[in-house]
Chain A
């Protein structure tokens, strides 16, 4: 499943409106996009699925604007990032989210609750931009350059977000005993 396949499927969708080809793209990227949203929403499964679906629908409608300069994955994450922050602004999810709400969301997710508590606790210590940058860099294996493209910010800023996030997380994880192994 290479980038060549992505380009071929994108061309089929853009030129022929081929939904089958778009389905292949969805199957390939659904896991990473939904995981990205799950971590950003602190484990809110239904909200993550809604946002992921919105991301794929927007990608389908705007697929002709994909120029192939960056990879399809980077382009898709860029849409996902915009969808998340638009939604956060609309729901006032961005800053107003409180402890009770997070706990309630986590209880709705049986498969992600117990094991994911640590990562959510750790991520909650970061600013939203740092969370996004750290998740993209460490969890989704994006490069600094790709993180900057996805977040639409200068490379130096993306590096700063990752660095600051890294510093905060390293203190948290060391205190939690992760660095002692």
Chain B
């Protein structure tokens, strides 16, 4: 028998035997049995705080905040209303895509 034929036969044999093993709570049991480790999510908040402080300092020093506030005074009230009403729509679309991505991952 040719090597390629043998390969095909073996591939077909193993494909026939290949089954998806259902989770049946395995992942949950594994998660429960994971040893406790120090929660390091505080690192995210520390870096976020540092970022906010730096951004605020730059904005104050360059006069960006004053300029922005002056600019906002010139925006008509209808634009503000439009922006406010658009927010749930944009947020909803974003949420929909985030959710569908989560389902795909799991």
A119 at interface, CB cutoff 8 A? yes
Q: Once the chains bind, are A138 and B1 in contact (CB under 8 Å)?
A: no
Query: Are B17 and A115 neighbours in the complex by a CB distance under 8 Å?
Result: yes
**B 6-30 to A, binary, CB cutoff 8 A, 1 in contact else 0:** 1101111110011111110011011
Chain B residues, Cβ within 8 Å of A24:
105-106
With a cutoff of 8 Å between Cβ atoms, the chain A residues found around residue B105 in the complex are 1, 5, 24
Is there contact, CB below 8 Å, between A174 and B1?
A: yes
Contacts of B1 in A (CB 8 A): 170, 174, 179
Interface extent on B, as a size class? 35 or more
Which of B11, B22, B34, B41 interacts with A57 by CB under 8 Å?
B34
B23 to A30, Cβ gap below 8 A? yes
Q: Which residue of B lies closest to A45 (CB)?
A: B21
Residues of B within 8 A of A52 (CB): 26, 30
B31 touches A179 (CB 8 A): no
In chain A, positions 81-124 with a C-beta closer than 8 Å to chain B are: 112, 115-116, 118-119, 122
- Among the stretches A31-39, A68-76, A150-158, the one at the interface with B is A31-39
In the complex, what residues of B have CB within 8 A of residue A16's CB?
39-41, 43-44
User: A138 and B19 in contact (CB under 8 A), knowing A24-B106, A57-B35?
Assistant: no
Sorting the interface of chain A by its residue count into under 10, 10 to 19, 20 to 34 or 35 or more gives 35 or more
Q: A22 an interface residue at 8 Å Cβ cutoff?
A: yes
Q: Which residue of B lies closest to A138 (CB)?
A: B14
On whether A49 and B26 interact (CB within 8 A), knowing A17-B38, A27-B106, A169-B10, the answer reads yes
Q: Which residue of B lies closest to A39 (CB)?
A: B17
CB distance from B34 to the nearest CB of A (A): 5
Question: Do the beta carbons of A138 and B104 come within 8 Å of each other?
Answer: no
Instruction: Convert A151-176 into 0s and 1s, putting 1 for each residue whose CB lies closer than 8 angstroms to a CB of B.
Output: 00000000000000010011001100
Give the residues in chain B near A77, CB-CB below 8 Å.
Answer: none
> B14 to A23, Cβ gap below 8 A?
no
B33 close to chain A: CB less than 8 A: yes
Chain B residues near A179: list those with CB within 8 A. 1, 5, 9
Contacts of A22 in B (CB 8 A): 31, 34
- Residue A60, interface by CB 8 Å: yes
Q: A27-B106, A52-B26, A53-B26 are in contact. List 17 more A-B contacts (CB 8 A).
A: A15-B43, A24-B106, A26-B26, A26-B30, A30-B26, A49-B26, A57-B35, A60-B35, A116-B17, A134-B10, A138-B11, A139-B17, A170-B6, A170-B9, A173-B13, A178-B12, A179-B5
- A-B pairs, top 9 by smallest CB distance, nearest first, are A138-B14, A119-B17, A34-B21, A170-B6, A31-B21, A17-B37, A26-B27, A139-B14, A56-B30
